[in-house]
Structure 1
Amino acid sequence: MPAPRPRLLALALAPLVLLAACSSGGEGADDSALTSAPDDAAVTSIPPTGDFSEVAVERQEQDGGEVPVITYQGEPMTDEEGQPADTLPLSVAETQVRELAPGDGEPVQPDQHVELRYLAVNATNGSEVVSTFPTDEQVVMDLSNESLLPGFQEQLPGVHAGAELLLAMPPEDAFGEQGYSELGVGSGDTLLFYLEVVGSHSPLEQAEGEPVEPPEGLPTVEADGSSPAEVTIPEGEDPPEELVVEPLIQGEGPEVAEGDQVTVHYTGVKWSDGSVFDSSLEAGEPFGFQVGANMVIPGWDQGVVGQRVGSRLLLITPPDVAYGDAQEGHELKEETLVFVVDILDAH
């Protein structure tokens, strides 16, 4: 994501591990660099070791419930001290997939959002990377996102809702030669995924609902949902000192809650001169983030909560809920920003 889009300050682990990454990010980070797929040509070829057919999934009791555990050759992948089993490392030369249970729901389409639960394990040392099962969390995977791990984009279309899958993914289909140190994934590590495909759906392409007449004194907006919005700042008006959230279209979908993964299209404009500084519509790809995970500026986290999918929002963010706490020299540090945001999806 070319700076200065809403900045990525921290990352929600469960959604992140589904994305390729070539840097650890940080304040002011470029999201396109954070989630861009690795250069396949640069990935070191790792000779395959072990046998994927001997990888299995068992259920174990944990905190009064059952959670899936990946085993190899009938044994846990680590001992009681967390040390790798003698049978490791396990690696594969190409992504392999095995259907453990068929699904009877609708098949996943290549451009849909997929709801799933999953467990990820590092096949080099047997360590768990992340699991959504202890909290029964569901993660939404956008198959149209070019930053998605290639192994998922290739394997999930056509899978029916309700299916359970086991995948082994080599570096070239995962985090590449650079690995991802924050997740404990080194260069050359194969990843194992156990997936439960809950369902899939197609997000909105633009806001849908009842138009709303905003109060006087606010910027006026002309938006068709397919190109960057045109925003006119009211002449002679001082910018508001507090966050302004005004629906321009009232959607009829579910309400956005803290913790939801949200997909939006947006245009951002400076109050000072009315110039557009960024637009996902110009970039040609919606933007996704987890609400309340500090992945975006505070005004966004605060502004979308309680709003319905399908809504078009006018968000006016003074510096203290925009880039006011950014490093010195940030070009938007002292700016009040105006956003037109279409909420396309939320889970």
Structure 2
Amino acid sequence: MKLSLAPRRVVPAAVLSVIAASALLLTGCTGVSAPAASDVSASPAAAECTDYPSGADSEGVTVAGSFGEAITAEFSTPLAGTALQRTIVTEGDGELTKSGDLVELRITVFKGSTGESVISEKTSFPLGDAQLMPAFVAGIECMPIGSRVVTAVPAADLYGDQGNPSLGIEPGESAVIVSDVLGVEQPIVPAAWTQNPPTVAFNGEEAPVLTLPAGDPSPDLKLAVITPGDGATVASGDTVTLNYQGTNWNTGEIFDQSYGKQPLVIATNQVVKGFGAALVGQKVGSQLVVTMPPALGYGEAGSGHELAGQTLVFVIEIIGVE
């Protein structure tokens, strides 16, 4: 089971995204706050761009490997680190990233004590999300697409005296983070599920009963609003309280649900893409059913997850939004 961002219950892996949806990168887990206003340029054009200085620690890192692929890094260990430093190794020629973008990147994290790699994968970070640690924001904020950025992070700006056992980072340890800025994800908008949608019988606190239509699943992301709500509208990045039930179209079996437990509390950018896209633009009180192809769930067959290659159907009731 993946670690969860949701502060009020352990979120089943069935709706979680990958590393961007784990608690590993959150300010709330470390007590590290966002950069102070004095750290931000006073220029109106750069109001959302933090001035991260370069220095000996970040400049002393040598990175080898193709852009966007697995890499290695060499630097003097142990990396003591006295302040967060950022060095742009390669400056891309694409558009600058900005607040509100869902930035696609390849991120690699190296332990400052030994140089060992503890994270290496492609993921997406919501730029402008106050929960994302400044140590990770530094690699993608106001960066041209195509850039490779090295960030040297002292322990105080990472996991501090607590460390992070899940990553093998000991208390008081620094880190080197290499970010390859690959692009910006475009918003995903579900198509209306108007032809041959499933039927859903809601039963109050009990689990709903979903009846799937005959035939093969759609290759597209489709959404049917069973009952429209009249509350606040969910925006991208909002934290939503909801009940859900997940069914595997291929087997017809329920693989996960919140009914009989507690409602799920999670942000729209902390779940698999199809699930998050279904929430955005809907109102509190809405009852939905959404079908998503493997690419918007857990990937194509062979990607490692038990639900990989499967078309998923979620029944969702939106209870509240923050």
Give the shorter-chain TM-score range: 0.5 to 0.7
Q: Secondary structure at the match of 2:129?
A: coil
State whether residues 108 and 179 of structure 2, in contact with CA within 8 Å, keep that contact through their aligned partners in structure 1. yes
Q: Which residue identity is paired with 1:54?
A: G
Q: Which residue identity is paired with 1:7?
A: P
> Structure 1's 266 and 69: CA in aligned 2 closer, same or farther, altered over 3 A?
same
Gaps in structure 1 of 5+ consecutive residues: 22-34, 42-48, 61-65, 73-86, 133-137, 220-232, 250-262, 292-302, 310-320, 322-336, 342-347
Describe how 1:6-155 pairs up with structure 2 within 5 A: 6-8=11-13, 14-15=19-20, 19-20=24-25, 36-40=28-32, 51-59=57-65, 67-72=70-75, 87-132=76-121, 138-155=122-139
Q: Within the alignment, does 1:162 sit opposite 2:146 as a pair?
A: yes
> Structure 1's 196 and 180: CA in aligned 2 closer, same or farther, altered over 3 A?
same
Gaps in structure 2 of 5+ consecutive residues: 1-5, 34-54, 226-237, 246-258, 274-289, 297-306, 308-313
Q: Which residue identity is paired with 2:263?
A: D
Deviations 1:15-57 (A, max 9, x none): 4688436xxxxxxxxxxxxx7341249xxxxxxx974432211
Describe how 1:157-236 pairs up with structure 2 within 5 A: 157-201=141-185, 203=187, 208-210=190-192, 212=194, 218-219=200-201, 233=202
Question: TM-score with structure 1 length normalisation?
Answer: 0.51
Per-residue deviation, 1:212: 2.3
CA RMSD of aligned residues (A): 4.6
State whether residues 104 and 183 of structure 2, in contact with CA within 8 Å, keep that contact through their aligned partners in structure 1. yes
State whether residues 199 and 210 of structure 2, in contact with CA within 8 Å, keep that contact through their aligned partners in structure 1. no
Q: Secondary structure at the match of 1:36?
A: helix
Higher Cα Rg: structure 1 or 2? 1
How far, CA to CA, are the matches of 1:238 and 1:218 in structure 2? Answer: 10
Q: Secondary structure at the match of 1:172?
A: helix
Per-residue deviation, 1:162: 0.4
Q: Within the alignment, does 1:267 sit opposite 2:242 as a pair?
A: yes
Which segments of structure 1 move beyond 4 Å, counting only runs of 4 or more? 8-18, 213-217, 241-246, 263-266, 274-277
Per-residue deviation, 1:216: 8.2
State percent identity of aligned pairs. Answer: 20
Question: TM-score with structure 2 length normalisation?
Answer: 0.54
How far, CA to CA, are the matches of 2:272 and 2:172 in structure 1? Answer: 29
Paired residues in the alignment total 226
